[in-house]
Amino acid sequence: MARPPQNINQDLFTRGGIITEHDPDFCIVRLRMPAGMITPAQLKEVGEIAGRYGVDRLHLTTRQTIELPHVDPSCLEGLLGELEKNGTPLGAEREEVVNITSCLGTRNCKFGIIDSVGLAEKIDKKFFGKELPVKVRIAISSCPNGCESERLNEIGITGIQKPIRDPGLCTGCGTCAHYCREKAIEVQDGIIVLDENKCMECGFCIMPCPFSLIRGAPPEYRITVGGHRGRHPKLGRNLVTVKSEEDVIRVIDKIIYWIYRQASMGSMLPEQLDELEFDEFKKTIIAMVGE
């Protein structure tokens, strides 16, 4: 690994949001931006700050943040100070909890089941930048559409909602079956039949009911662990489903604690879970949560 240039504050390079470039005389500065949210004023100021420090292009990352490439390391202290003042501080990249990603959720999306942005902000406040033996990415999708590919992260949260139908009032019109993308609903002899094994609990069948006879159960949060993009993509496995944001925070807290105490350096979390019995890991986490 190339060493950062001399005659600068070397301690800055221990912070994960600063990445030495291929040309070791320059570095990349990655910002902290939970859920990818930024105000127009902040975005404008990021551009102006970048321009003042000789950055002519910005990079939008897959983790919903912004990178400033080709930064002169001798300017880092002034640059970081201005970014902090703007509310767009230095991010993370190494063996730590990095930027939390999220879809727009119930605040803007018609398919949203949970407030994924609000949850991302809470997770960021509690866990962002926590140093760990391995890098931990956390992503949230407000529904099973999985727009954030949350199951391809070390920790994924998916909003789900079970449909509840009143069979005594249902006319069997089949509108819900038409809107079901999983073909989990069929009309048999004028009666709606739901195949629970196919149902993804996405809630797509609820709103289209022309008689409002299908209602949704309270939203829940499905948590997966052990996903990974990178060189060898891997889907996370279902760990537990909980009923509130507070429960999500508690489960993540125990997962992070387990990683801090038990995980080893040198390999990604999914690889380490493969070496262990996942069922045992699951039992351990649930026992730690107390439910």
pLDDT digits (tens, 9 = 90+) for 135-188: 999 999 999 999 999 999 999 999 999 998 888 888 889 999 999 999 999 998
The pLDDT of residue 37: 97
Could you give the angle at which helices 245-262 and 278-289 cross, rounded to 10 degrees?
120
The top-level CATH class assigned to 10-85 is: alpha beta
- Is the Cβ–Cβ distance between 148 and 105 less than 8 Å? no
pLDDT above 90 covers what percent of the chain? 72
Residue 183 exposure: Cα atoms within 13 Å on the Cβ side: 0
Domain range 163-216, its CATH number among 3.40.50.620, 3.30.1360.10, 3.30.70.20, 3.90.1310.10: 3.30.70.20
CATH topology of domain 101-160+219-289: Sulfite Reductase Hemoprotein; domain 1 (3.30.413)
Per the listing, tokens 């350096």 go with: 265
* Closest by Cα among 281, 185, 186 to 238: 281
pLDDT higher than 60, residue 23: yes
The CB density around residue 76, as the number of other CB atoms within 10 Å, is 21
The pTM score is: 0.90
Segments making up each domain of the chain, as ranges? 10-85, 101-160+219-289, 163-216
Cα Rg of the chain, angstroms? 22
Domains 10-85 and 163-216 agree in fold = yes
Q: Evaluate if residue 50 carries a pLDDT over 60.
A: yes
Question: 């949060």: which residue's tokens?
Answer: 221
Per-residue pLDDT tens digits for 71-114:
999 999 999 999 999 999 999 988 999 999 999 999 999 999 99
Over 70: is that where the pLDDT of 33 sits?
yes
pLDDT at 275: 65
